[in-house]
Amino acid sequence: MASYSLLYFNGRGRAEIIRLLFTLKGQDFEDKRVTHETWPAEKPKTPFGQMPVLTIDGKVYTESLAIAKFLAKEFGFYGSTNQEEYEIDQITGMCNDLFTEMVREFFEQDKERKANMTQNLKEKTKPRFVGNLEKILSAKGKGYCIGETLSLGDLVLYDTLDGRVADDIIDKYPNVKAVMNNVRSNDRIKAYLAARVPTPM
């Protein structure tokens, strides 16, 4: 049985999708969390001075999306055909683009610039991205990115939007909302979310 250890800050950030994959699979893993105070001591030990870092039986893996795709394939959450992999990657790519915009706004220090970014995200960027996700999902109409079971695409969509995009936006898009509901209603995910401590990002 493989041994898994994940290193990241005490927040969702770029590592939460990895945690959700472990949770959905029912796979035990060490969820090693560092603080901003302890990170300087850990940083030199990582391959590129950044996180998340996943260690599997002593072998080190880096880059959040690469790790997520690797685990999704290992656990059977990455489709069964090249077409299904593409459809998952399409959703994942769109969500990553939106997440990058949200991270940029989150860390902006200039108050005036941050206020403008926040308004633009709320009024334009988030509705546009969620609307585009709806266009893709509406062709399926089953509440899943592919087939009728949860995949990496569903988890990424959920994690990107949950708590970061207002309900009044999501409520306008029934297929996006259906994916969100299917993820959060999974028994393992539901238990994990109930125990998760809220963090800023």
For the chain, domains (ranges, CATH) are 4-76+189-195 (3.40.30.10), 82-185 (1.20.1050.10)
In angstroms, the CA 163 to CA 180 distance is 11
CA-based radius of gyration for the chain: 17
Token pair 């030990």 is at which residue? 45
**Which pLDDT value is given to residue 86?**
98
Dmax (CA) of the chain: 52
Q: Contact, 133 vs 173, CB < 8 A?
A: yes
Among residues 195, 200, 201, the alpha carbon closest in space to that of 31 is found at 195
**Which pLDDT value is given to residue 199?**
85
Q: Is 80 exceeded by the pLDDT of residue 200?
A: no
Helices (H), 30-186: 39-42, 64-75, 82-107, 111-120, 126-138, 152-161, 167-170, 174-184
Q: Is 90 exceeded by the pLDDT of residue 68?
A: yes
Token pair 């970061």 is at which residue? 164
Q: Is 90 exceeded by the pLDDT of residue 19?
A: yes
User: In this prediction, what percent of the chain has a pLDDT beyond 90?
Assistant: 95
Banded pLDDT at 105 (limits 50, 70, 90): very high
